[in-house]
Structures are given as structure tokens and as C-alpha cells.
Amino acid sequence: MFPSAWLRRSARQTGLVKRERKIEPVAMFWVLVLSFGVRLQRTLAGLKRSYEKRKGTPLSDGSWYERFSPELVAFLKLCVLRGIEELAREAGGALKERLHRFTDALVQDSTVVRLHQKLSAKWPATRSRKPAAGVKVATLISAVANGPTRVTIRGERTSEAKTLRIGPWVKDRLVLLDLGFHKYQLFARIAENGGFFLSRLKGGADPLLLAALRVHRGQAIELAGQRWSAVEARLQRDVLDAQVQLAFSRRSYRGRHSADTMEARLVAVYNEEARRYHTYLTNIPPDVLEPEEVAALYGARWEIELVFKELKRRYALDVLPTSNPQIVEALLWVAILTLLVSRRLHTLVRLSAPHRQMVRYTQLRWATIFAETADTLLSAVLNSCGIDRTFELIANVYTSQALDPHVNRHRLHDQWWA
């Protein structure tokens, strides 16, 4: 996934290293990605100690800290792009027969990471009375790749809709969206690019009903020409499947907004537990998925919440005890790289198991085991890169790391024994 030769070449290309002296880019990369284990945090001092322990080269604080620079951020971004490409190339999942119409199922969402208050000018938080900072990590998860296909880091005040750019890439793909992306204009762009969308209907939205797509026996409410708000209160059926018209404004062009409409499918399924209808908008044809299947499929959006939980609980995405923006960006991308490596190994383990057991390698259990064995994995990876530990190397680490850096500090026992 990340060959040593490629890592060295990319480090030189981004300016991270000009000449390999004390800090070797391959060792640094793997230490950053896998040096967290069960501690659930990454500190620069801890990462430095881990690097010295693995490489056997004592470092000054300055030589290590100065590596957390814009060049390191550029290097890590390049690594994330490669990791995403490799994850997509070695597909770790497959859609079931019911989704044969689509080449992939994608889930888009974002999570907010709180930062040091001193970063409020660069990344201001939303809905905060006091100065606060935060970033939004937007992720597009692929069911086929078994991991992220796009990741962006933006200010917390960026709207959800702006974190998802629609283009030809969406053709024949299904995108599951939450209410933060509920914009008819966005749905229209997905459909116009040959893609499919599935979203909850936002409260207050009132589309125009055109026709029923499922025939019901007995006396049924006439739908054509009525608004959803007028029909919902009178519904007595368990399921409503109807063609609707959505009115919206196009993007402004030369200062003008043009009005437009599109047709979509409205699915309402009565939920006994909540005692109300769960309502969805989609352009999936009725002959591909039944209304009940549409509602069940939307539940798969929970997958991305598990990804964010994995990133925060296991890979320290939100443990950023620094006010240095370059260190913040570097550690954010490091957590994404850890997720990519984790997902690649998860795929390999699942594919090596008997078919009936593949589904039992659940996401959060896998993340727990991966985090607990990260230290062992790091040793194995570095060993395969030709970086092995000897007794002399470990002794050098003890000599350098155990030495108190405060030269002139008074120690109580100095006057009595040494």
C-alpha cells in the first residue's frame, strides 16, 4: 500500500526531506501512523520517543519538532490520496443482488473536531459565545472499497452541502445523504450526472404529489395535485410510494437565479415505535427497490457514524493538545492514514476467512483489536523495511530517553548520594 521507495520519493517531492540524515521518512511515516496503540493519544514528545525507540537514533527536540511543517502536511496529504486509490483498487466489499443496478453505495457525512482556543481566528467554531475553534472532517465512505474514497478538512462553519462536490464520478453510484445535504439543487445535480440519491425528507419540505406508484385496495386518497402536508395528516396506509415534483432555484448566473423543477420519488413508511411516518426522497426506480427496502437501506447510513467513532475512540482524531495549526493538520491526516491502513488489513482478514464468517468481522471490534496490536504491527512493518531492533539499539534508546533534559534542576538526593 505504501512502498518504501514511494515514501522516500514522495518525501523528497514535497520537500519533507532533502537529505536523509537522522530522520528517515519511511520510519517516520510508519511511526506516525501506528504509534498510538491503546494510549488513545498522539503527542509530539511521545511520537519522538517512539521514533527513537524504533530507529535507534537519538534526536534533539528541535530536529523532531521542525519536521511538523507545511511540507509534512503536503506529504501526508499525498499519502492519503495514494491510500484511498489503493483501497479502491483492491475492493474489499461487494453489493448484494438487490443493489445490482449500482456500481457502488456511498455515504457522505462529516464530524467536528474541537481545537485549541488560540486557533479560533483560523478555524472559528459555530454557535459559541466564547472564542472557540473547530474543523469539520468530511468523509465519503464507499461500501465496495470498505473505507473512505474522499476526505476533506474544512472550517467548522462550512455548510454540509459545500463538502460534497457532484460531478461525473457519481454516475451509476448511489449516495446516501443526511438532512444536512437536503437541497433539491444537489439532488438534481446527482440525477443529471447519472447518479442516484437517497435522503430523508426535511421537516417543512412540502413537495407536490403527481401520482401514486403503488396501488392500494379500497378507498384511497387522491394524490395528484396535492401537497404532502395536506396528505400526510389523512394517511391511514402503512406505506406511501408516490411520484413528486420538487421546485428549486438553480445556481446564480450573472446575478440571476433561474427557477426549475425535477421529479423524484417520495416514500413514506409508518414506524410503529415512533408512531409517525419516516419519509424519504430518492430517484431509485420502484422496480429496483420496494418502499420497505428504501427505508431499510437508509439505515445503512449508520456505517459512517461507526467510522467517526472509530476515528475518535481508537485513532485519536480529536486528541489534538496543540495550538500549532501545522501540527493540527498533520495529526488529522495521520488519523485518516491510520484508518486507511486499518481498513486495508480488515479487508485482507475478511477475505482470508470462510465466506460465512466474513460478516462477523464487525467494524468496531476490528478497530479495538487493531489498536491493541498496533505496536506489534509497527515492529513487523519496520522489520520488513529493514529496520530491526538489537540490544545495542535499545540500550542507546534507554541512554538518551531516560536522561532528564533539565541540566540545572536541583535534586533532593544529590547532596546525600548519587
The set of residues, in sequence order, having a beta carbon less than 8 Å from that of 7 and lying 6+ positions away, is 25, 26, 29, 79
Which pLDDT score, from 0 to 100, does residue 394 have? 63
Q: What is the mean pLDDT of residues 112-135?
A: 89
- The CA distance from 344 to 394, in Å, is 31
What band does 301 get if pLDDT is binned at 50, 70 and 90?
Answer: confident
Which pLDDT score, from 0 to 100, does residue 38 have? 43
- Give me the sheet containing 104-115, strands edge to edge: 147-155, 133-142, 104-115, 173-177, 196-200, 276-282, 259-271, 239-249, 208-212
Average pLDDT over all residues of the chain: 86
Which pLDDT score, from 0 to 100, does residue 254 have? 67
| Residue scoring higher pLDDT (355 or 153) | 153
- The CA distance from 35 to 337, in Å, is 12
- Top mean pLDDT of 40-44, 315-319, 369-373 is at 369-373
pLDDT at 140 over 90: yes
Q: Phi first, then psi: give them for residue 155, nearest 5 degrees.
A: -65, 150
Joined grid coordinates for residue 270? 409508518
Q: What is the mean pLDDT of residues 178-203?
A: 94
Q: What is the mean pLDDT of residues 146-169?
A: 91
pLDDT at 102 over 80: yes
Beta bridge partners of 111: 137
Do 269 and 295 meet the contact criterion of CB atoms below 8 Å apart? yes
Mutual orientation of helices 325-352 and 70-89 as an angle, nearest 10°?
A: 20
Joined grid coordinates for residue 108? 457522505
Hunting for cell 384511497 — which residue is that? Answer: 220
- Burial (CB < 10 A; 0-12, 13-18, 19+), residue 291, is buried
Q: What is the mean pLDDT of residues 117-124?
A: 92
Residue type, 405: P
Q: What is the mean pLDDT of residues 278-285?
A: 95
Mutual orientation of helices 44-55 and 391-401 as an angle, nearest 10°?
A: 150
Pick 86-307's CATH classification: 1.20.1630, 3.90.350, 3.30.70, 2.70.98. 3.90.350
- What is the pTM assigned to this prediction? 0.85
What would the 3-class secondary structure string for the chain be? CCCHHHHHHHHHHCCCCCCCCCCCHHHHHHHHHHCCHHHCCCCHHHHHHHHHHHHCCCCCHHHHHCCCCHHHHHHHHHHHHHHHHHHHHCCCCCCCHHHCCCCEEEEEEEEEEEECHHHCCCCECCCCCCCCEEEEEEEEEECCCCEEEEEEEEECCCCHHHHCCCCHHHCCEEEEECHHHCCHHHHHHHHHCCCEEEEECCCCCCCEEEEECCCCCCCCCCCCCCEHHHHHCCCCCCEEEEEEEEEEECCCECCECCEEEEEEEEEEEEECCCCEEEEEEECCCCCCCCHHHHHHHHHHHHHHHHHHHHHHHCCCCCCCCCCCHHHHHHHHHHHHHHHHHHHHHHHHHHHHCCHHHHHHCCHHHHHHHHHHCHHHHHHHHHHHCCCCCCHHHHHHHHHHHCCCCCCCCCCHHHHCCC
pLDDT at 398 over 70: no
Could you tell me the residue ranges of all domains in the chain?
A: 4-85+321-401, 86-307
- The Cα-based distances of 14 to 72, 181, 184 in angstroms read 8, 35, 40
Which pLDDT score, from 0 to 100, does residue 393 have? 63
Express each pLDDT in 23-53 by its tens digit. 789 999 999 999 875 454 567 778 888 887 7
Do 92 and 99 meet the contact criterion of CB atoms below 8 Å apart? no
- The Cα-based distances of 32 to 1, 26, 97, 114 in angstroms read 16, 10, 40, 21
- The CA distance from 195 to 283, in Å, is 9
Lowest mean pLDDT among 148-152, 292-296, 306-310, 402-406: 402-406
